Each structure stands twice: as C-alpha cells, then as structure tokens.
Amino acid sequence: MTTTTEARIATAAFAAAILASCSSGSVAHVTQTQPTTTFGTPSPSPTLPALGMPRGAIPRALVGTYVYESEGTRWVTLRANGTYAQWNPYGELDIVGRYGVHGRTAIFMDEETKDTTGRACDGLGAYAWQFAGTRLVMTKTQDGCTVGRIEQWTAGWKKVSSATLPTAPTLRAARHR
C-alpha cells in the first residue's frame, strides 16, 4: 500500500470517528495518529476516551417504567435517582444498576446482588437515546458487554408509566409495594 493510500485511509477513519461522535449527540475527543509507512504495519486507529458515569439530573422524560416483548414480557424501571431494575419474563429480578445521562447519551453500569438472577456486565455502556412516540430507542455508542446488556438497552422499550417500581426480588412484589 502506498503512503498516499495509507494517509487517505487514516483521514477517512479520523473523519468517521468525528461523525460517529457527533451523530450520537455527545462530544467525544478523538486523537489523530499518523499512518505508518512500513508495508503490513497497521496504522493506529482513532481512540475515544474512557467512559465515565455522568452526574447530575436525570431527564424527567426518561424516568418511568417500560416493557418489551422478547420470549415474554420484560420490565425495567428507570428512576430519577440514577438507579434501575429489570425483571425477566418469569418475573424475577434480572439485573439492577446505576445510570447517568449527559445530553442524549445514557451511561449504564450493571450490578449483581443476592436478589438478581442475571449476570452483570463489566464496565460501563454508552447509548444514544431518543423517543419515537412512547418507545425509548437506544443505539449503542460504546459498550464491550458480551452477556446481554446491548440487547437489553437496544430492544425498543415501550413506556407504560411515568411512575417507577421499587426494587424487589419479583415483579409481583414490586408492583404490590
């Protein structure tokens, strides 16, 4: 590959990283690296900064209880204090965690407890969010999870209430508190 071709590829990768960060509604700092001139040595790609949990107010529009159908009905409640709980189709508490919002990007961090039946993902996951009617539509912007968080947050949750549910070992217990 010629040096000119490598330079074009590096420039295209740099531009793609900038466009991806702009389209999510968040600001990402991208570092440009120079292409190598040695045949067969890949050029370093643009890098995004490590994720951090945003602090501050959760938008009122996000707070509430949502459902989606996937081999049964799944429920999740997003609270104004930055915590969430999700119940699986069997009504068992699947996963709990914390979240924060910066603009149109929501950052999630799963936590396992003695009452949860699901596996928590390591690290944070970032998702661009918006509403389409009553559907909460999230698109992954950065998440290395391999145990289900990506599928969970990109499922297209339908908001059924602005009220939230308390964390409880079963959905039945949460709905009757």
Same domain, 84 and 162: yes
Same domain, 79 and 165: yes
pLDDT at 49: 54
Same domain, 85 and 156: yes
- Read off the pLDDT of residues 12-30 as tens digits, 9 standing for 90 and up: 443 344 334 434 443 333 3
- Read off the pLDDT of residues 20-74 as tens digits, 9 standing for 90 and up: 443 444 333 333 333 333 334 433 334 445 678 888 899 999 999 999 998 899 9
DSSP annotation string for the chain: --HHHHHHHHHHHHHHHHHHHHHTTS----B--PPP-STTPPPPPPBPPPP----SPPPTTT-EEEEEESSSEEEEEE-TTSEEEEE-TTSBEEEEEEEEEETTEEEEEEE--TT--SPPPSS-EEEEEEEETTEEEEEEEE----SSHHHHHTS-EEEEESS-PPP-SBHHHHHT-
Give this prediction's pTM: 0.71
Residue 55 in domain: no
What is the residue range of 14's domain?
Answer: 1-49
